[in-house]
Amino acid sequence: MSDFTSNFWNLYIAILTIAGIIFCIWLLVAVGKREQKSSDSSHVWDGDLTELNNQLPGWWRWMFWGLLIFSIGYLVYFPGLGSFKGTGDWTQIKQFDEEMTALQAKTKPTYDSYLAMAAEDLSKNKNAMETAGRIFSNECARCHGSDAGGGAGFPSLKSGDAMSWGGDVAAIKQSITEGRTGVMTPMGEAVGGAPGVKAVVAYMRSLSGLSHDEGLMAQGGKLFEDNCAACHGADGKGVKEMGAPNLTDNIWVYGGSEAAMTKVVELGKNSNLAQGDFAMPAYKGVLSQAQIHLLTAYVWGKSHK
Amino acid sequence: MSESPADTEVKKQKLFAARRKLYPRFAQGTFQNWRVALVAFSQIVYFVLPWLMWGDRQAWLLDLPARKFYLFGVVLWPQDIIYLTALLIISAYSLFLFTAIAGRVWCGYACPQTVYTELLMWIERAIEGNRNARMKLDAAPWSASKVGKKTLKHVLWLIFALWTGITFVGYFTPIRELVASLPFGLSGWEVFWILFCTGFVYFFTGWMREQVCKYMCPYARFQSAMFDRDTLIITYDATRGEPRGARGRKADLTEAKLGHCVDCSVCVQVCPTGIDIRNGLQYECIGCAACVDGCDEVMKKMNYPLGLIRYTTENALASGYSKKEVWRRVFRPRTLIYMAILVAIIVAVAASLWSRNTLKVDVLRDRGVMAREASPGVIENIYQLQIMNTEERAHRFVIEVSGLPGIEVGEVEQPVTVDGASGRSVPLAARFTLPQEGYKDGMYPIVFTIRAEDDEALRREEKSTFMVPRN
């Protein structure tokens, strides 16, 4: 009711509605009392077709009375008359909740049977995976893509390596349930400004076998050891517990070009969600335990054919 | 309404006329034979069609829950709704054409209201006899024989109506299963529609009869818009018939100053809507030609020429056209234009049905993920291909993409098997490797080609776009 900040509009609607009903009752009574006679309206067509001003047939008038009684009953029972809530205590939300509860009761046995299965087995169950595919389309595809192959800034779920928090069942389930926020701090200053960043990028590219400047690489390797290895590991293979991605597998969620890498090293990632950084949201309040289990199996299955 | 009556008189009048029960007399003749033939044809089709099989399914099944219409070898999907539109257009133009040529032939020979009234009247006549016997029976006091006859009639009516209702539902749910699950295995909706149709036939054609045509059917009211003065209508030749009057068979007409109408009122007795055709064209006339048959019988007995009441046009009556002239005027610009449009639509629909591609594909581009870098220099766009195989056997489909140099379909299990008369959604990525010198960013048109591995002719090309993102 936030649209109606003053009570005026409630009264406005209620009065108009009641006045309308009273007018209809008056009209029906007045018309019903009128004498049963045909009066010529003096409209004549085709020479002999005269329009008469007859009374409505009785059954027709009784239908109007029926409608009036129905509308009064409706307005008493249901909310409809301005802000009057109705005596029936009915709301859309209540009805929605009832229907959802009924639906959940109906699907519960199926979901329970899925919940009892290990995710690895569930990923081979055709029916379960069809359901999971629909949940994925609704909840996950807008970031990770319909084919689960990821998007710019969102990891592919088709390879266990791309999932920097780990691609095993427990890690996937944790990611969906609680969400993930990995923070990469801005390293521009720590590595000594633009030349340092350039050197680190050269070293990073060498890890994945991409084209790089050999001279800068050695310098970058030193800087990497000092500044980056704490999270990404001395070998650059990442640390799953921290969500620090593997830098040696040529999977670059934020782009594999020199420019893109430079930007990440210099400015970091996820340090400022308000400025367009993203995090994986938690789904524990959105999806049921069984649905999360299904999705876990679905995602796990994508990298374990 | 000749003159407006005085108010005092009007007060005593009822505003709505009560129904006068009709006892149409059975007329034998050419047009009745035509009606029997057409009723037999339509009802044999109606009652037999749902029992025919096509392979291992019902040949003619309108499966609403699955949203598939099976019509012999053709399976129509919701996407084929255009054929329903075409059917409606064809029906409308046929109505225009036939009405312009010969008035309400639909009402007289093919309308379910007429057809089932006819059928229920046959039952009625078999039990209660012809017009006079029925009138006598209704006027007689209640007796065991009257109760027996009436009960038998209504039971037979109801059985027939029930059979009609079961057949109707059998078009929408497999009729063999339906009949096998009678009477307690039916679903609520099946019971509802069977009873609905049963009631429809029983009340509309057993009890309401001509009232449906006169008061409920809109067609009677807008037919005049489709008539013109060259439309064949059932009409009484007043110049030949008047002055009417009874006379002996050998009476000299000139001497007796009489026309050919012997005023026997057979034309009124046979009329299923209870009008007197001698009063001219009336909106109640459903064009059944029972009066033509009835009058001809009398004319034969009197040794007068046939056709005192006949199919002719208003122009012909006014100007005394010969039969040949009347027929020439049937092919007037109005009907020729209707025919041309009708033929054009039928040919177009037939051609479109004949050349129908049974493979349907929708390409839905992912909205969330516009483009991604699979690995440095490799751009992927994601699509969902909705592959619909409307043929009744499974096919294996190969998906290819073209439109950019070296563009290819990413990892997806190929070929994709799609079962008969079903659809499948295939999410996939189109992969484009940027050339060394880079590529201008923007949207590029691409084409997905989906072809059946096992059928050369079965293929479809669908356009989409591919986005190369800014670096």
Shared domain check, A176 and A100: yes
Give the pLDDT confidence score for residue A60 in this predicted structure: 86
Q: Smallest CA–CA separation between B366 and chain A, in Å?
A: 7
Instruction: Encode pLDDT of A188-240 as tens digits.
Output: 888 888 889 999 999 999 988 888 888 888 888 899 999 999 889 988 888 88
Which of A27, A49, A77 is at the close of a domain?
A77
Comparing CA positions, the residue from B374, B370, B375 lying closest to residue B441 is: B370
How many A-B residue pairs are in contact by the CB < 8 A criterion? 87
Confidence of residue A243 (pLDDT cuts 50, 70, 90): confident
What is the pLDDT at residue A111? 94
Q: What pLDDT is stored for residue A4 in this prediction?
A: 58
Whole-number pLDDT of residue B437: 83
Q: Residues A72, A199: one domain? A: no
Residues B126 and B100 occupy one common structural domain: yes
Decide if A256 and B373 are in contact by the 8 Å CB cutoff.
Answer: yes
Are B1 and A50 an interchain contact pair (Cβ–Cβ within 8 Å)?
yes
> If you measure CA to CA, which chain A residue comes closest to B11?
A37
pLDDT at residue A33 greater than cutoff 90: no
Whether B4 and chain A come into contact, CB under 8 Å, resolves to: yes
Contact residues, chain A, for B279 at CB < 8 Å: none
Cα A234 to Cα A230: distance, rounded to the nearest angstrom = 7
Q: Which of B313, B338, B356 is the last residue of a domain?
A: B356
Specify whether B396 is located in the same domain as B308.
Answer: no
Question: Which residues of B are less than 8 Å from A148 in CB distance?
Answer: 427
- Give Cβ neighbours of residue B240 (< 8 Å, ≥ 6 apart): B259, B260, B308
Q: Identify the helix (H) or strand (E) that includes residue B300.
A: helix B290-302
Partners of A154 on chain B (C-beta within 8 Å) are 369
Instruction: Give the burial string for B273-294 (b: 16+ CB within 10 Å, else e).
Output: bbbebbeeeeeebbbbbbbbbb
Tell whether A61 is covered by a domain: yes
User: Quick one: A109 and A151 in the same domain?
Assistant: yes
Nearest chain A CA: its distance from B95 CA (Å): 25
CB contact under 8 A, B375 and A141: no
Distance, in Å, from the CA atom of B399 to the CA atom of B461, rounded to the nearest integer, reads: 10
**Which pLDDT score is estimated for B321?**
86
In-domain check, residue A89:
no
Label residue A275 by pLDDT band (50, 70, 90): low
Shared domain check, A172 and A118: yes
Counting Cβ atoms within 10 Å, is residue B242 exposed (0-12), middle (13-18) or buried (19+)?
middle
Quick one: A21 and A59 in the same domain?
yes
* Residue B441 with chain A: CB contacts under 8 Å: none
Query: Does residue B78 share a domain with residue B27?
Result: yes
Structure tokens at B122: 């046959």
Partners of B460 in the β-ladder: B450
B159 lies in the same domain as B235: yes
Q: Give me the CATH number covering residue B390.
A: 2.60.40.10
Per-residue pLDDT, A2: 56
Question: Is residue B13 in a domain?
Answer: no
Q: Does B279 touch chain A (CB under 8 A)?
A: no
- Determine the residue of chain B that is closest to A50 in CA distance: B1
Helix (H, G, I), strand (E, B) or coil at B187: coil
Better-predicted residue by pLDDT, B171 or A2: B171
DSSP B342-384: HHHHHHHHHHHHHT--SEEEEEEE-SS---EEEETTEEEEEEE
Please tell me whether residues A160 and A176 are part of one structural domain. Answer: yes
Q: Is the torsion defined by CA of A160, A164, A167, A173 positive or negative?
A: negative
Q: Which of B356, B373, B393 is the last residue of a domain?
A: B356
A291 and A269, same domain (yes or no): no
Inform me whether the pLDDT recorded for A3 exceeds 70.
no
Which of B10, B15, B401 is the best substitution to test chain A (most A C-beta atoms within 10 A)?
A: B15
Judge if A176 and A213 occupy the same domain. no
Identify the residue whose tokens are 């909205």.
B367
Encode pLDDT of A36-53 as tens digits.
Answer: 555 666 788 888 787 777
> Does residue A162 fall inside a structural domain?
yes
Mean of pLDDT over chain A? 87
**What residues pair up with B431 in beta bridges, in sequence order?**
B380, B408
Q: Considering CB atoms only, which of B10, B375, B382 is closest to A145? A: B382
**In a shared domain, residues B436 and B349:** no
Distance from CA of A68 to the nearest CA of B (A): 25
H or E segment to which residue A39 belongs: none
pTM of the model: 0.75
Q: Which of B4, B13, B366 sits opposite A145 (nearest CB)?
A: B366
- Calculate ∠ Cα B51-B53-B58, nearest 5°: 75
Supply the CATH number for residue A226's domain: 1.10.760.10
pLDDT of residue B70: 92
Residue B409's domain comprises 359-468
Residue A262's domain spans which residues? 193-275
Q: Out of A38, A49, A252, name the one closest to residue B10 (CB).
A: A38
Q: How far is B468 from chain A (nearest CA, A)?
A: 12
One domain for residues A143 and A109: yes
Which residues neighbour B393 within 8 Å (Cβ) at sequence distance 6 or greater? B420
Which member of A48, A147, A255 has the closest CB to residue B1? Answer: A48
Q: Does A259 touch chain B (CB under 8 A)?
A: yes
Closest chain A C-alpha to B427 CA, distance in angstroms: 5
pLDDT category at A273 given cuts 50, 70, 90 is low
Mutate: best of A54, A61, A139, A146, partner B, most B CBs <10 A: A146
Question: Based on the domain organization, do B245 and B148 belong to the same domain?
Answer: yes
* Cα of A36 to nearest chain B Cα, Å: 7
User: Nearest CA to CA, how far is B257 from chain A (Å)?
Assistant: 32
- Both B85 and B71 in one domain: the answer is yes
Residue B133: φ, ψ to 5°: -65, -40
Specify whether B189 is located in the same domain as B119.
yes
What pLDDT is attached to residue B338?
94
Query: Is the predicted pLDDT of residue A75 greater than 80, yes or no?
Result: yes
How many structural domains is chain B composed of? Answer: 2
- Residues B216 and B250 both lie in one domain: yes
Q: What pLDDT, on the 0 to 100 scale, is given for residue A49?
A: 80
Closest CB from B4, B370, B373 relative to A252: B373
ipTM more than 0.90? no
Rounded to a whole number, what is the distance in Å from the CA of B16 to chain A's nearest CA? 8
Kindly state whether residue B3 falls inside one of the protein's structural domains: no
Q: Is A105 on the interface with B (CB under 8 A)?
A: no
Are B241 and B261 contacting, i.e. CB atoms less than 8 angstroms apart?
A: yes
Q: Pull the structure tokens for residue A196.
A: 């340092």
Cβ pair B367:A40 closer than 8 A: no
For residues A139 and A111, membership in a common domain is answered with: yes
Q: Output the pLDDT for position B11.
A: 47
Minimal CA separation from A257 to chain B, in Å? 6
Residues A168 and A105 in one domain: yes
Of B11, B13, B369, the CB nearest to A145: B369
Nearest chain B alpha carbon to A209: B376
Tokens of A107: 């699907």
Chain A residue with the nearest C-alpha to that of B9: A37
Nearest CA in chain A to B3: A48
The predicted pLDDT at position B397 comes to 95
Structural domain total, chain A: 3
Q: A272 falls in which pLDDT band (50, 70, 90)? A: low
A158 contacts in chain B (CB < 8 Å): 411
Q: Are residues B328 and B366 in the same domain?
A: no
| pLDDT for the residue B223 | 76
Query: How far is it, in rounded angstroms, from Cα B443 to Cα B174?
Result: 50
* pLDDT tens-digit profile, chain B (471 residues): 344 444 444 444 566 677 888 899 998 899 999 999 999 999 999 999 999 999 889 999 999 998 999 998 888 999 898 999 999 999 999 999 999 998 889 999 999 999 999 999 999 999 999 999 999 999 999 999 999 999 999 999 999 999 999 999 999 999 999 999 888 888 889 999 999 999 999 999 999 999 898 888 888 777 778 888 899 999 999 988 888 888 888 878 888 888 899 999 999 999 999 999 999 888 889 999 999 999 999 999 988 999 999 999 988 888 888 888 888 888 999 999 999 999 999 999 999 988 888 899 999 998 888 888 888 788 999 999 999 998 888 999 999 999 999 999 988 888 999 998 888 889 999 999 988 888 889 999 999 999 999 888 899 999 999 999 886
Does B202 lie in the same domain as B190?
yes
Q: Which of B322, B356, B390 is the last residue of a domain?
A: B356
| Contact at CB, A145 and B367, closer than 8 angstroms | no
Residue of B nearest to A142 (CA): B368
Q: If you average pLDDT over residues A177-183, what whole number do you get?
A: 87
Cβ separation A143–B369 shorter than 8 A: yes
The reply to whether B341 and B372 lie within a common domain is no
